[in-house]
Amino acid sequence: MKRLSLVLVALALLLAGCKVDATVTVDVHRDGSGTVTVDVHLDPAAVQAMESGGGKLEDRVRLGDLAKADWKVGTWQRAEDGSAQIQLSKSFTSPDQVAGIVGEINGANGPLRDFTATRDRGVLGTDYSVKGAIDLGAIGTGVTGDADLVAALTNQQVDVGQIDQSLLQQLHDALSVQVVVNLPDGSTTTVSGVPGQRVEVDASHSARDTRRLVLFAVALGLVVLALVVWFGGRGSRRRARARAPIPRFDPHSRR
């Protein structure tokens, strides 16, 4: 499958001096389901460059492989200033699926690293967490990992390392990435990538179940009451025995 990160890399490399912005949003619902959404935005210069020679964004940027992987792929939306954006999304039924979905769009060379999502149900509530990182210092062009491309460039006496470094610099200048996490309590955590650095993403929320809290308080109260009654009863019995007269022994009494 052609991962979205490869598409973004291609765009950034082709559009030197332009801007490609990607926002990845993770929405987690109370039952643990949710959606991963990716919004890609091209500035006016990027759109003009992509459509030079009479081409269309729809033809130049192919996302059919993502659609085959159950991603909902939108259409390019154009703004009056000449910019354009597209949205892609994929739903999940369990937080355990988030890591795999992020991996589908990120690939080996993308900026999204170590993403996990959890939903832990406890006695008194549920804990939600989404963690990971945006590492713009770890992104790559994928050039050196393509054996056929390396061989072809080497046969043409091209310095593959130099080409890779030049393209990587263009990629760093063109691409920006942001991650947004929305948790069931309504809180939003937004983290923006920093060129050349790793920035952690850490969003968490503990949802307390009021019904469970009330039931726990009632149960605890009943336990305390039972203990009071039990120990109070034992104390009353001891005091009753202490007040009772001591039987006297009469040697002349008949049995």
Q: What is the pLDDT along the chain (255 residues), one digit of tens a residue?
A: 545 555 555 555 555 667 889 999 999 999 999 999 999 999 998 888 778 778 888 887 778 888 888 999 999 999 999 999 999 999 999 999 999 999 998 887 789 999 999 999 866 678 999 999 999 988 776 656 667 666 766 776 666 666 667 666 777 778 899 999 999 988 999 999 998 899 999 999 887 555 554 554 555 555 555 666 665 555 555 555 555 555 555 555 555
Q: What's the confidence (pLDDT) of residue 203? A: 96
Coil vs helix vs strand at 26: strand
Torsion over CA of 69, 115, 41 and 188, rounded to 10 degrees? 120
pTM above 0.75, yes or no: no
List of residues 6+ apart from 157 with CB closer than 8 A:
none
What is residue 81's DSSP assignment? Answer: T
Q: Give the integer Cα–Cα distance in Å for 233 and 123.
A: 33
Q: Where are the domains of the chain?
A: 4-208, 210-243
